[in-house]
Structures are given as structure tokens and as C-alpha cells.
Structure 1
Amino acid sequence: MARLSNQEGLANQEGMADWLPGRLAEERPVVTVIGDSILDGWWDGTIERFCREAPAPVVQVQRRDFAPGGAANTAMNLAAMGAEVRFISLIGEDPAGRTLLDQLRSAGVDVSHVVSHPAMTTTTKFRVSSGGQVMLRLDDSATDLPAEGRRHMADAIPEALPGSSAVVLCDYGAGALEGAVREAILENLGPGSEGGQATPAVVRQDILVVVDAHYPGQWADLKPDLATPNAQEAARLLGTELPGGAARCPFVEAHADQLLRASGAGAVVVTLDREGTLTVRPGGTSQEPATHRTWARPQAEKQASGAGDTFVAALTIARAAGLPLTTSVDLAQAAADVVVHRPGTSVCTTDELAKHLRGFADTALTDAELARQVEEHRREGKRIVLTNGCFDVLHRGHTRYLNQAKQLGDVLVVALNSDSSVRKLKGPDRPVNHEADRAAVIAALSCVDHVIVFDTPTPIPLIDLLQPDIYAKGGDYTPEMLQETVAVERYGGTVTILDYVAEHSTTAVLERIRATGDGPQT
């Protein structure tokens, strides 16, 4: 697998690989998290009777677990992925506050800027469950935050920022980021003015600013680099309800300009639960398209909480380390997929994320296995999309093309040319990467559902076997040029030609590497 030797190399990294989380951790970016802290309580027990006073079940508690939530969970995830984390928050001098600080310290988070105030109640959310089902949630929180505590938080901001690569604002509307704290954030991180033009404040230079807020529009004046609203928060920005299900992404994309204006952000990443995410930014180029989609890998429902915090943490560390935004979002989706499959409030560590990505190494299916999978998808009413290629040295043209192919249907199958067939097509020096490595990298993309390696001159035998609803190819072809067109149209399928992405080809990438000597290292 290709390995990169410096941060400049990370700026050109496309696709997921199991070594990437460790490489990001080696960068050890300094990230300051400012926001509302929560202590999540998970109490689990058995139910054998109902109480006499009311028709309510009696939960005999057998296990009590506590975990940092809210901004504290974002800080925990950042630390677990290798960042050096400075945390600024306001908590109470109570048992919940002490538990929160103990767990943050144990995770390696710098809590020297956390303000503890005797008049403050640490927000705690107790979830009572039995048999895998949450029966009740009890919230205990302050109704009026002490102004003195916020002043101390404000004083901590200019102390914590020097040396930071990124700042994450986790504003969940509890009040910690109001008043003096908001003023300090805008003063130190907001746009200033120079010659009548808006410019970043002196302190903000070279600092990535990420806003994760229930009301992201309230931070538009900050001009953040990234805003990460969920569907409900995006709806608030737009002043309208979002449609449900698969219609949400097209709706968000159609309102991209409005989202960017309302948030004031350089890019907006909207998280859409089971529908994955959609990233929008102004303009767009062939190198960095204006929109980028990821797809979640949902499983059976779990009592999971905080996957959004994990997503924001992974996105932040990836961008702070220099990864492209599209690759950073893909990595963040993978990290969220790790924790959403676990009960409770949890974090994604560097090793867990690497193991998750490593799990794609043996994902190439046999013809018979893939045929069974496709038949199951068809029984569920899903549309099958098939595309094929060598995908030797993954680049932005590939990822954009595969994301476009996914959007044509529900399930994307990628047929990968075997090593021997690549040699016949490209010459004796190709492929650069073995078919198992190529399959693993492609399978790790969230838009790809299945990968298969084929060794025939064309994928026609595979087309005949699977009979995909849509056969997709890149824009450097026409249907008339393809031998596969006759096979697809024979059973009533459709051939779709996707956009041609200029200035991106594996041959061009390899020529540049050979000419400069500045490229992937193994």
C-alpha cells in the first residue's frame, strides 16, 4: 500500500487505507475544543414487575456507566485519534463535574482551561434501559449559567489558542458560549478589517475553525471554515423542513448557496444519519468539486449516542493534518460508522479506525457470492449500478466518478480488472498496486457497496450474470464505443456515461511522480 512521507503528501491523499489513521495521529495536531459539556449516564437493568403506584415497569439497575458527552465527547474522540486536545468548558463543582474531569484527564485531554463553578450544575443525561431498549431519559442541568463562570471561560480562550491547529465550537444551546465567551471567540477568531476588507483576526491565522452548533446561523459572523449541521440544524438554517429519506440530499444540494450564506462557512457538511453526509462549498473545481456525498453503513439499531461528535472530531483532525476535504469527510464517515454500531456513548480510537479500514482488505466477492447479494438487493426493491475499471492509483477523478455512479441507483458494484488484465491493457509496468490492495481501497469508499475482481477481456460475462439496472462508464467513452452496450441493452438495462473529469488520469499521476520524484512511498 502507498504510504506518504509528509503533510504535503497528505494534501493529495485520495481514498481510505488502514495506515492513514496512524499517519494522522503522528501529526498530533493541537485542537482546542470550546463548548457545552455533558455527562452521559447509561443505567441498564432487568424488568420483572410493574410498580404498584402506577402502570410503570420497575428497572432493577445492574450496571451504571458514565461517559463524557457533548463537547466533552468531541474532545475525547479527538484525543483517541491522536490529537493534542485543549478543552474549554463550564461545569459544576459537583460529583458529575468531578467524574467528567476524571475521565477527560484519563484520556489525555488538557482540562486546565475547564472552569468549575459552585453555582453551576453539570449537565447530566441519565438513560435507563432494559433488554436493549431505552425506557426513560432523565436530564439534570442548570437553568441559569453563572456570568462569572462565563467570564473565566472567556479569559481562558486567548490563553489556549496559541499553537492550535484547529478550534471546534460545540454550541448545543446550553448557554456556555453566550455573553463574554461569544465576545472572546469573535475577538480572537472572527474576521477583522484591514483596508476596509474583512480579514481573519491575527490569532486565527493558520487555525481551522469548525462550528458544530444547534443554531449554526448564530455563528455566521465568525466566518468558520466548516459548519457541520445535522438535518434538523440545516432545516433551521434554511427556515424550512427537509424532506425525508433519499430526497434529503438532492434538497440540500439544491439549497447549497443558501446554506453557505446562512452559516457564513467556507464549506458546510450536512450529516443525514442513515443517508450519510453531503458536503457543499462555493464554486468547485475538478480538484475539489462543489458537492461531495458519503454513504453510511447502517446496521441493526443500537443504543448509540454521540456519533455526530465522532464525525466532527475525525473531520477536524483530518483537515488539521492537511487531508483534502473530500477525503476528510470520507474518513469521518468511517469513524462514525465505527461508533454507531456500539451501544452507549463511545469514542473511535486510531487503532479501531485502522481495524475498520483493514476490514475491507478481503472484501472482493466471488461471482456466486456477488450474485446472491445482488439478488437479495433486488428483492428489497433496490436498483443495481455496475461499473468497472483498473483503479490503480486512486485519484480525485476516480472518487468523483464513483460517487456519481452511486447516485444513479441504490447499490454500487465495482468490477476491478485483475492484475493480469491490467498488464494486458496498460503494459508490463502496471498495475502499481496489487489487485487485493486496489480492492481494499475501493471497498473502503462509502459510496461502494460491493467489489469483485474479473479476469476476462471485458466485464460482459459479469453483466450477463448480474444484469445490473445501470451500467456506468466514464465520460471518455460513448455507448457506441462500448462492447458492453449490446449486452446491457439485450436484457433491458441502461448504459450511462458519467462526467469526464479533465486533468485526472492514473497515467498523468505516474508521469508526474516519475518526473519529480515527489509522490507516494511504499
Structure 2
Amino acid sequence: MSDAQDELLVDQVLEFRGGPIVVVGDLLLDRWISGTADRLSREAPAPVVRVRGREDAPGGAANTAMNLAALGAAVRLVGLVGDDEPGSALLALLEAAGVDVSGVVRGSGPTTVKTRVSAAGQVLMRFDEGATADAADGDAVAAALRGALPGSAAVLVCDYGMDAAGAAVRTALAEDRGAVPLVLDAHDLAPWAAVRPDVVTPNAGETERLLGRALGDDRVRSATEAGAELRQRTGAAAVIVTLDRDGTVVHADGGPSRTLAKPAPDANANGAGDTFAAALVLALAAGMDVHRAARLGQLAADVVTRLPGTSVCTANDLTASLAGGARLLDERALVAALGVARAAGKRIVFTNGCFDVLHRGHTAYLKQARALGDLLVVAVNDDESTRRLKGPGRPVNPVADRAGVVAELACVDFITVFSTDTPIPLLETIAPDVYAKGGDYLPEMLAETPVVEANGGVVRILDYISPHSTSDLIARVRAAGVAGA
């Protein structure tokens, strides 16, 4: 599919303003503990992790709901959490993202929590806590689902075997779902065959269990040849076999098709299936056929596999991904994205500027800044603060254009816009590991230095390319214009 066709897909989905998407299934809280490990314990051959940060993120069906909300959809979430601190933390994260959690039941058992400990970006271990739902909890979730279904545009089930989406939920969907699309993401698809889902999304292992045989070395060929068998065994109108680095194989009316994935580290695959399912169901609700909806799901999954931790794909991410650009985030979204990156041990570099007319001096120092860490955040002054700093007649270009041009640079990972004369408030909020500044400064000359160092960061002054400045460039252009007149 061409870039132009991809852009049309994204535009169609992001313009969707239909009824809410109902997400029902197993909710969990992902907890990330990150730090450094440079020695082994004396008690046992185990690394000693010096903790630098902690971050919570919704997981499972909750992560799917977060992805839908980030794409601009209205979301009703139905599921089960415990009446405990992790359950309250999970609900708070969801509500802050705009997810309707009125259908989430407080159950009798503890909230499911997966805690990962990482050092320098490497996960060292994971602790799983929680319990499966009992029959009473399952009935309560089914009742909440029946209340959430009226007026919905589509339903997505995330069944990971914790019994929140058990027999009672299957009965509720069979009786009350109506004509809206039903997408099923389940570890065990067999019990759902009688519900006749519209689309199921088994991964490689789930596909092998359905078939009772291994896919072998040529997974794509085996999944392609098994289309009729997979549709018969799942009772689904369409089957999308997700094969991580090998993309997907789609079996639906019109014959099989494929989507291709962008290469990414396997360690970044956490939550990519949730993102795929979210974008897929939103595309179906917007009226796309399954083949095009799968392509949209692949584009969204490709975004999050380039990021560490449990991440989401936003509307801005999708459009920026098509252009090959960085992620343009507001402050709240930036803090969340950097929290996940920091939990995975990433070294964060921050710089700022007006970037009114981008020139070689800018690109040179941004490349140098990116080399100082794992992620580069560029904060761009808004129009009012640029005018205060640079004087009348500036900026030449509005902030949307300035930020958009910087976002096209391959060395930039995140873009944000700020309105203050200095980035100090933003530095206090995000606490980067490195604050990079271009020009003929010393760290002691900068008001930002004490703030950065107080939060454990360092200031680095990058090479100054004297013949290149925006003011000089604008003056030469204006002089040439006068001479030409």
C-alpha cells in the first residue's frame, strides 16, 4: 500500500466521531522499576539494582482502552479490578486519559499487577500478582457489559485467561451485542467460536494451538495456507494472524492479504498487540474493510514497537509516523512518554530553542545532542515567547511550522511547545539526564544549570558554528530583498 493510501486510511480513522468503542476483558497494572546495576549481591549471584525511577501504566485491556483514547475514540471500559491501591492507581490513570470506567467492577480479589525490574534498559525479572475472577465477579462484569453495549460502535474483547471475560460475558455478547463489529483478542479462541466474532487476532503461539501443529520456519506461508481451517475453528468471519516482526496474515472475504512490519527490537514488543487491536477495531467502526483495518493496525503497532515499556499510539504519532517524523506531544503526554522511557533505563537528552528558520547550525548541534543519550526531546518556544525573546517581526514562521520542520529530523524523538521565556518549568517537570545547549556559553552562565543539576542531570555545551544564526540569515535575506528592489 502506498504512502498516499496510508494517509487516507489514517485520515478516515482519525475523523471518526461515531459511538463509543466498548472494551471488555482482563485489566492489569504494569509497574516498572528502573535503575542501574553495576555489581552483584554478596548474598547471591544476583545484580544489585540502584532504583532511579518507578512508573505505572495500564496493561491488558486497560492498555487497549488507553490506545483507543489516544487515537481520539470515545471508550467505555468494562472489566474487573480489586478494591486495593493498585486498582485505584489503574482507574486514576484511565480516567486521566478520558476513558469511561463506569463499567469497571471492584471485585473480591486483588488487582492483577505485573512488576518489571530493569537496569540500563534490560528487564532483569518480572513479578506477577493477582488472581482469576470467580463466578460472582464474572456475573458482575457481564451485567456491566450489558449496560455498556447500547449505542456502541464496536466491541473489543481482550481475554487473557483471567476469567473476567468468561462464560457470562460470552452469553451477554451473544444475546445483546447487536450488529456492531466484534473483535476478539484471546489467548484461547475455542470457547468463543459459538459467539461468531467478526474478527479474531491470534498470535503465532495461539495459531499453533488452534491448528494443533507448529507453523515451522516459514510462518507466513503456513499461516497463509491455514486460512479456511482457522476461520472454521474460530467461528470468525475473518482471522488476522499476527506474527510480530513478520507482520500479519489476513484471512477475510476477497482472499488472504499481508501487512509488513517495520523492524524493531523484540524487547519493545510489550503491548504492541493491544495497540494493533485498538487501531483495528476503530478502523472497523469507521467503516473500513478488514484488509484495510489490518493495515491501520500495523501502522499503529509499528509506532509503539519503536518505544520502550508499555506505550500507546496517539493520533499525532500516526500522522508523524507516515512522515517519518518525531512525536509532537503536549506536556502531560510528554511526561508520560518519558516516564516509560526512563523506567526502561533510557538516557534522556533535552534542548530548546525558537528554531525560527532552521539552518546548518541547528542541525549540527541537534545531532550532537542526540549522541549524548537514547532519546532527544526538543522544546520549541511558542510565538509569543519567541516575540518576547527575539523582538518585533519574529517569529518569521508560526510555531506549528517551526515544530513541524524540527520533527522531520531523524535525530529528534519528541517535540513539545512551551510558552515561558526559559525552559526552567519544563526542566523541573521532566528532569532530563542531559540538558544540551548550543552556543558560546559556559554552564555557569545558564540559569537552567542549577535546576538540571538539582534533579541529577548534567549540562553539556555543544559546538558553536559561528557563521550560522537565524538572525544573521534573516538579515541577509532582507538585505538581498532591498537590493533586489
TM range (shorter): 0.5 to 0.7
2:235 alignment partner in structure 1: 264
Which deviates more from structure 2 when the two are superposed, residues 299-308 or residues 338-347? 299-308
Encode CA deviations 1:326-361: one digit per residue, 9 max, x unaligned: 22111111110000010000100011101101229x
2:331 alignment partner in structure 1: none
Q: Give how far 1:22 is off.
A: 4.6
* Distance (whole Å) between structure 2 residues aligned to residue 66 and residue 322 of structure 1: 34
Q: Give how far 1:236 is off.
A: 1.2
Contact 2:9 2:296 in 1 (8 A): no
The higher relative CO (CA closer than 8 Å, separation ≥ 6) is in 1
* Superposed counterparts of 1:378-457, under 5 Å: none
2:49 alignment partner in structure 1: 59
Q: Give how far 1:177 is off.
A: 1.5
> What amino acid does structure 1 have at the position aligned with 2:209?
R
Q: Which residue of 153, 157, 160 maps to 1:169?
A: 157
Q: Which residue of 52, 69, 84 maps to 1:79?
A: 69
* Distance (whole Å) between structure 2 residues aligned to residue 46 and residue 272 of structure 1: 33
* Distance (whole Å) between structure 2 residues aligned to residue 269 and residue 147 of structure 1: 31
> What amino acid does structure 1 have at the position aligned with 2:234?
S
Q: Which residue of 282, 305, 321 maps to 1:340?
A: 305
Q: Which residue of 81, 92, 95 maps to 1:91?
A: 81
CA 1:14–1:220 in structure 2 vs 1: closer, same or farther (change >3 Å)?
farther
Q: What SS is found at the alignment partner of 2:197? A: coil
2:188 alignment partner in structure 1: 215
2:166 alignment partner in structure 1: 178
Q: What SS is found at the alignment partner of 1:346? A: coil
Encode CA deviations 1:335-390: one digit per residue, 9 max, x unaligned: 10000010000100011101101229xxxxxxxxxxxxxxxxxxxxxxxxxxxxxx
Q: Give how far 1:47 is off.
A: 0.9
Q: Give how far 1:218 is off.
A: 1.5
Q: Which residue of 227, 231, 239 maps to 2:200?
A: 227
Contact 2:84 2:110 in 1 (8 A): yes
Encode CA deviations 1:270-296: one digit per residue, 9 max, x unaligned: 000110000012xx4xxxx31110111
Q: Give how far 1:185 is off.
A: 2.5
* Distance (whole Å) between structure 2 residues aligned to residue 319 and residue 150 of structure 1: 28
2:103 alignment partner in structure 1: 113
* Distance (whole Å) between structure 2 residues aligned to residue 228 and residue 16 of structure 1: 21
Q: What SS is found at the alignment partner of 2:67? A: helix
1:140 alignment partner in structure 2: 129
TM-score, with length taken from structure 1: 0.60
Q: What SS is found at the alignment partner of 1:48? A: coil
2:434 alignment partner in structure 1: none
CA 1:304–1:231 in structure 2 vs 1: closer, same or farther (change >3 Å)?
closer
> What amino acid does structure 1 have at the position aligned with 2:71?
M
Contact 2:242 2:249 in 1 (8 A): yes
* Distance (whole Å) between structure 1 residues aligned to residue 266 and residue 238 of structure 2: 30
**Number of residues of Structure 1 aligned to a counterpart in Structure 2:** 323
Q: Give how far 1:243 is off.
A: 1.0
1:388 alignment partner in structure 2: none
Which deviates more from structure 2 when the two are superposed, residues 228-237 or residues 317-326? 317-326
Encode CA deviations 1:91-127: one digit per residue, 9 max, x unaligned: 101111111100110111100010012x211111011
Contact 1:22 1:351 in 2 (8 A): no
> What amino acid does structure 1 have at the position aligned with 2:174?
L
**Which runs of 4 or more aligned residues in structure 1 lie more than 6 Å from their structure 2 counterparts after TM superposition?**
none
* Distance (whole Å) between structure 2 residues aligned to residue 90 and residue 39 of structure 1: 12
* Distance (whole Å) between structure 1 residues aligned to residue 120 and residue 68 of structure 2: 31
Encode CA deviations 1:377-417: one digit per residue, 9 max, x unaligned: xxxxxxxxxxxxxxxxxxxxxxxxxxxxxxxxxxxxxxxxx
2:378 alignment partner in structure 1: none
1:149 alignment partner in structure 2: 137
* Distance (whole Å) between structure 2 residues aligned to residue 40 and residue 58 of structure 1: 22
* Distance (whole Å) between structure 2 residues aligned to residue 187 and residue 318 of structure 1: 24
* Superposed counterparts of 1:306-321, under 5 Å: 306-321=271-286
Q: Which residue of 132, 135, 147 maps to 1:159?
A: 147
Contact 1:20 1:354 in 2 (8 A): no
Q: Give how far 1:50 is off.
A: 1.6
* Distance (whole Å) between structure 2 residues aligned to residue 120 and residue 176 of structure 1: 12
Match status 1:39 vs 2:29: yes
2:294 alignment partner in structure 1: 329
Structure 1 alignment gaps of length 5 or more: 3-12, 190-203, 361-522
Q: Give how far 1:299 is off.
A: 3.0
CA 1:303–1:114 in structure 2 vs 1: closer, same or farther (change >3 Å)?
same
Q: Give how far 1:26 is off.
A: 2.6
* Distance (whole Å) between structure 2 residues aligned to residue 88 and residue 230 of structure 1: 23
Contact 1:88 1:113 in 2 (8 A): yes
| Aligned residues with identical type, % of pairs | 47
TM-score, with length taken from structure 2: 0.64
Q: What SS is found at the alignment partner of 2:220? A: helix
Structure 2 alignment gaps of length 5 or more: 326-485
Q: Give how far 1:78 is off.
A: 0.8
Q: What SS is found at the alignment partner of 1:89? A: strand
* Distance (whole Å) between structure 1 residues aligned to residue 210 and residue 191 of structure 2: 10
Q: Give how far 1:188 is off.
A: 2.0
Q: Give how far 1:300 is off.
A: 4.0
2:111 alignment partner in structure 1: 122
Q: Give how far 1:181 is off.
A: 2.7
